[in-house]
Amino acid sequence: MELSSPSAKIALAVARRIQAAGHRVVFAGGCVRDFLMKRTPQDFDLATSALPDEVEALFPKTIPVGKQFGVILVVEEGIQVEVTTFRREGSYKDGRHPTEISFTDDREDALRRDFTVNGLFYDPFAGKILDYVQGQADIIKRQIRAIGDPQKRFEEDKLRLLRAVRFAANLGFEIEPATWIALKAQVPAIHQVSPERIRDELIKIFTRPGAARGFDLLSESGLLRAILPEIEAMKGVEQQPDYHPEGDVFIHTRLLLEKLENPTVTLAFAALFHDVAKPVTFARREDGRITFYEHAPIGAEMTRQIMKRLRFSNQEIEDVAVCVDNHMKFGDAAKMRSGKLKQFIAHAQFQEGLELHRIDCLSCHGKLDNYHFLQEKIKVFSEEDLKPKPLVCGDDLIRLGMKPGPAMKPLLEDAYVLQLEGQFASKEAALAWLRGRLPAP
């Protein structure tokens, strides 16, 4: 395992200090999996025989984030390393939390983890992987498999249903058949997980690579119907075939998710929700054409309700709702008057809205005329912003009574500098300033 990134080096230094105090300590879980797969870990977790008090005593800055479960955050040079005492878990209550834990050895600590690919340890001093759960074999097979009895593991903690989907999507793995059957059987109990935790998993599923696959797995497992019935309702909702050769609203939405690249939370959820009102606004005109009148503003309102239910912040909710509300306007950009267009381009969610428009077009008819038109306009407007037209010119000076001649140039240059500095609210303000500077007749 190559520990060369700054945060890896800090995690290693933390491990050294714990080892020097006479304890066992290993890298644990996701970071070991990521290293074996040659991916960059999100964060580094250490597992140790040291007790939480002993960990705290070794470092100047620690945060007891989950001390009763053995979890201490060590903060070194602004980087956080999670240090967890080897533990086993007692019985579970409420489908999410163990009633009690007790401290134990590394083997039992591996067995309490969720999936085999997440149950690996790396001993940095011996340079050895410790694999009590056949995690390495499952990485090679590219599969997510519960450690031990899958039914029991999902019954204990329902968050693992979403974690299984997330890891399969993000790593591009299959879910092993017995794990998949057990997962599906527990779906009705997903509401034992708090909306906040569901939200956090959904954010990870839709903003990281593999979002479209995550969408498929949520759908096939039944989790989508349980958590986001409004999205499930898109299935089979027909669209006008000339405009939408790809198929129904659900298929269209999936295509957008496929095109996300490192999206913000706003863009990812705007893609997910942009057509959420199509099922409820579906109508067929007398001539047979399919319409979805007002689906954008109605969709924005539905987006607010869904995201509120999932406890997103007010800011996140508004940003996504604005993108949903505006998503049809991008198609009208070429018809907007220039003042309206400038205002539209200046709105805070424009960049994300424009990317949403791009992937929306690519996911149906494929025409990007409006996208290119807007890109061009942004360039023109930003050049105008940097080099706006002068508010006053030579003719204005002559009208104010000045004789044409070389004295005009420095005066106009000064006026332009003040204009660029934003000193003049209007042409009148610039003229008033000039009047005060005119040479005596």
Residues engaged in binding Mg ion (CB under 5 A) = 30, 42-43
Q: How do 25-28 and 121-123 pair as beta strands?
A: antiparallel
Residue 187 and residue 185: Cα distance in Å, rounded? 6
What are the two backbone dihedrals, phi and then psi, of residue 103, each rounded to the nearest 5 degrees?
Answer: -85, 145
Contact 99, 93 (CB under 8 A): yes
- 199 makes contact, choosing from ligand ATP, Mg ion, none, with CB < 5 to 8 Å by partner type, with none
CB 41 to Mg ion: min, Å: 7
Q: 113: closest CA among 126, 94, 127, 130?
A: 130
Give the range of 3-11, 39-47, 325-333, 364-372 binding ligand ATP by CB under 6 A.
39-47
Closer residue to ligand ATP in complex, CB, 119/299? 119
Residues 59-118 that bind ligand ATP (CB under 6 A): 113-114, 118
Distance CA 113, CA 32 (A): 13
Scanning 3-11, 40-48, 53-61, 419-427 for contacts with ligand ATP by CB under 6 A, the matching segment is 40-48
Q: Tell the smallest beta-carbon distance from residue 277 to ligand ATP (Å).
A: 32
Select the binding partner of residue 159 from ligand ATP, Mg ion, none (C-beta < 5 to 8 A, by kind): ligand ATP
Q: Which stretch binds ligand ATP (CB under 6 A): 37-45, 64-72, 180-188, 303-311?
A: 37-45
Hey, which residues does 74 pair with through a beta bridge? 62, 81
**Placement of tokens 């990317």 in the chain:** 355
Question: DSSP assignment, residue 48?
Answer: E
Among 5, 40, 42, 102, binds ligand ATP (CB under 6 A): 42
For the CB of residue 29, give the shortest distance to ligand ATP in the complex, in Å: 3
Q: Would you say 196 or 238 has its CB closer to ligand ATP?
A: 196
Query: Which DSSP state fits 330?
Result: G
- Which residue from 1, 13, 43, 281 is in contact with ligand ATP, where contact means CB under 6 A? 43
- What distance in Å separates the CA atoms of residue 405 and residue 397, rounded to the nearest whole number? 11
161 and 168 in contact (C-beta within 8 Å)?
no
356 binds ligand ATP per the rule CB under 6 A = no
Of these partners, ligand ATP, Mg ion, none, which one is at the site of residue 208 (CB under 5 to 8 Å by kind)? none
Binds 160: which of Mg ion, ligand ATP, none (CB < 5-8 Å by kind): ligand ATP
201 binds ligand ATP (CB under 6 A): no
210 counts as binding ligand ATP under rule CB under 6 A: no
**Torsion over CA of 319, 324, 330 and 332, rounded to 10 degrees?**
-130
Residue pointed to by tokens 């863009």? 267
- If the CB atoms of residues 11 and 302 are measured against Mg ion, the closer one turns out to be 11
> For ligand ATP, which stretch binds (CB under 6 A), given 137-145, 155-163, 308-316, 405-413?
155-163
Residue 113: contacted member of Mg ion, ligand ATP, none (CB under 5 to 8 Å, by partner type): ligand ATP
Contacts of 13 by beta carbon, 8 Å cutoff, 6+ apart? 76
What CA–CA distance (Å, rounded) separates 61 from 4? 23
- Of positions 30, 214, 279, 353, contacts ligand ATP by CB under 6 A: 30
Q: Does 397 bind ligand ATP (CB under 6 A)?
A: no
* Closer residue to ligand ATP, CB minimum distance, 145 or 252: 145
Write down the least CB distance from residue 34 to Mg ion, Å. Answer: 9
Nearer to ligand ATP among residue 121 and residue 433 (C-beta): 121
Q: Give the nearer residue to ligand ATP in terms of CB position, either 120 or 323.
A: 120
Closer to ligand ATP by CB, 170 or 281: give it. 170
Please provide residue 27's backbone torsions phi and psi, each rounded to the nearest 5 degrees: -75, 145
Q: Which is nearer to ligand ATP, 63 or 280 (CB)?
A: 63
Q: Which residue is nearest to ligand ATP (CB)?
A: 30
State the Cα–Cα distance between residues 335 and 338, nearest whole angstrom.
9
Cα 357 from Cα 362, distance rounded (Å): 9
Give the nearest distance from C-beta 139 to ligand ATP in angstroms. 12
Distance CA 60, CA 330 (A): 54
**Residue from 230, 317, 238, 210 nearest 276 by CA:** 230
Residue 331's region, left for phi above 0, alpha for psi from -120 to 50, else beta, is alpha
According to the binding rule CB under 6 A, does residue 159 interact with ligand ATP?
yes
Residues 261-290 that bind ligand ATP (CB under 6 A): none
Cβ-contact 263, 205 below 8 angstroms: no
Cα 424 → chain centroid: 42
Distance CA 324, CA 159 (A): 29
Least distance in Å: CB of 283 to Mg ion? 47
- What distance in Å separates the CA atoms of residue 295 and residue 111, rounded to the nearest whole number? 49
Closer to ligand ATP by Cβ: residue 92 or 350: 92
Q: Site residues (CB under 6 A) for ligand ATP?
A: 29-30, 42-43, 45, 113-114, 118-119, 157, 159-160
